[in-house]
Structures are given as structure tokens and as C-alpha cells.
Structure 1
Amino acid sequence: MELLVIFIVVLIAFGVFRFFRQRMYLKTLTEEQFREGYRKAQLIDVREPQEFKRGHILGARNIPVTQMRQRLIEMRKDKPVYLYCQSGSRAARAAQLLHKKGYEDINVLKGGFKKWTGKIK
């Protein structure tokens, strides 16, 4: 029983640590904030190609999170990166990878594509 309590406490502490560490390098933006900056940035849709084909934010490039490690060469470190996926979780994973690879200005759309009300293709 004691071991289970210790395990749960460690698990919660690790989750809290990751949450605050992520907030240091990742900016989660509202749709309004996202709109203000994404035209001057690299707009990346990290969903799979079939999701991208069904609709995406106008001007976005599709680099699925599953291919991101192999396609880093397509993104510049000196320009802001604006990421989105369907709901936000894959974009957060992509942001973590980009941070580890030295990208600094990383932004994610809060709520993802399903909350987007702007222009789509």
C-alpha cells in the first residue's frame, strides 16, 4: 500500500514538472493571438496527410508529428513556428521535439483545428 502511494505521488510530481517545464518553451495561443502572428511564421499542421487533405488553415504546411524528426530540415530555427493539430496534444508533442532540437519560438493553437473559425482550405 505504501509503495502504491509513493508511486502515485512520484507520478503526479513528474506530471507537474513536465507541465511547468513545457510552459517555459511553449506558448499556447488563443485563436486571436494565433491569427496575429501565424502569417509571419512557419505554419505547420502536424496532423496526418489524410486529415490535412480534409481541411487545414490556409497557408499551412503538413509535416505530421510522426515524420517530424526526419523532416526538421524543412523548418528554420530563426523564424517562429506555429503548430496545430486536431485538438492540441500532437502539437504539444511536436513542440517538445522541436525544443529538444534547438527551436526557440514555438507556439501552439489552443484547442487545435477543431476550434479554429478562420479561413480554411
Structure 2
Amino acid sequence: MRSSKMLHFKSSTLFSLVLYVTSGIEPMCPCECEYLDKIDYWSDEANQLKQYNELSQKLAELKRLLNVETKNLSSFINKKISAADERPSASVTGYLGAAVLGLVFGLIFLLDLPVIIHQIRGFFRNI
């Protein structure tokens, strides 16, 4: 009869270590070989925790070494800079857009101009 239990350690979303430990009456490997020694070694929880701690430290060191400051990347810097476009169609589109916006705001101002003049005259009459 053989039973198994699972020990699950999680240190981060990047790294998850799952160790399966087999113990019981019947040995998994009836012969005397390297594999049996490994099974005996990993069946000890102290060895599992030791290995987990070592791997956690190595992972933390690798994360520290691979960490890149994003503000120094060219992709971050280029997000803040407009690229020059020398094509005539780009210039015409920009000028046309500016003219349409100017025309819309100019028409709104012209429609309100009589009301503005009336308000200014009324203000100076009351002074």
C-alpha cells in the first residue's frame, strides 16, 4: 500500500514549486540505486524546505538582476516625442483640421457677437 502527499510552496506568480513526496510501506524502487537515494532525500521535509529556500533566494536574485528601469527605455522616451512627418499630405491634413476647428469656433463667436456687444453696452450704460 502506498500513500502520497503533496507539499505546495508559492513564492510569487512567476515561480511555483510543487514537490510530491511518496511514503509508505512498499518502496517505489525495490532495487538499490541512485533513484532510491533521491526518493529518500526528497521524502524528508527539511530537505524540501531547504531546497525551496535556496530556490527562492536564487529567484529573488534573478528578478533583481533582470529588473529594468522603464523610464530609461527608448520605447518610454519615444512615447513622449512626436515624430516628424514631412509628407505634403500630412501637412495639408493638419492645416485643413486647424482651419475647420478655427472656422467652427469663429462661427460660434460670430453668432454670439451681437449678444456680447449688447451686454457690453448695457454694462457701460449702468456705470
TM-score, normalised via structure 2 length: 0.22
Structure of higher CA gyration radius: 2
TM-score, normalised via structure 1 length: 0.23
Higher relative contact order (CA 8 A, sep 6+): 1
